[in-house]
Amino acid sequence: MEDREDKGFVVKDRRKISLDDMESGSDTGDEAQQPPTEEQAKAEAEFREASRKAEGQGRRELPAVSFATFVFSLSSSALVYLGEMPEIESQSSQVDLPLAKQIIDTLGMLQEKTRGNLDTDEDRLLKNLLYDLRLRYVQKSGG
């Protein structure tokens, strides 16, 4: 019988970053940690400047952005597509059930993803809005 020498196996690291880089703190593989590009920084600065100018032009005061205002905004859009509210620009009502369903499903996904992270009022608001919108959807779709 032949004596075979067991050579084992060879591991080749094909990662773009080496362990030395990770230990030194330079993480070139993680784009989320990268500073914004010059173009991104410029766009953000322009957005802030435009926001300041718009505030100074006497435009109507909008409510602060919160979970409740976000959910109300989505539910208002669903009501528009259910034909329950007129569109702001045209003041006409139009039923678009697929779009209404998409928004209702989005609110449902939001409820799933935020489960356990909402305070009592936010949780109750979302549950009640979803119940109401789903009921209206079933009525409009003839179900």
pLDDT at 133 over 60: yes
Residue 83 covered by a domain? yes
Read off the pLDDT of residues 32-87 as tens digits, 9 standing for 90 and up.
567 778 888 888 888 888 877 776 666 667 778 899 999 999 999 999 999 998 78
Domain that holds residue 133: 67-141
Residue 19 covered by a domain? no
Residue 99 covered by a domain? yes
Residue 56 covered by a domain? no
Tell me if the pTM is above 0.75.
no
Residue 39 covered by a domain? no
The total number of structural domains in the chain stands at 1
Residues 71 and 81 sit within 8 Å (Cβ to Cβ): no
Question: What distance, in Å, lies between the first and last C-alpha atoms of the chain?
Answer: 79
* pLDDT band at 104; cut points 50, 70, 90: very high
Residue 75 covered by a domain? yes
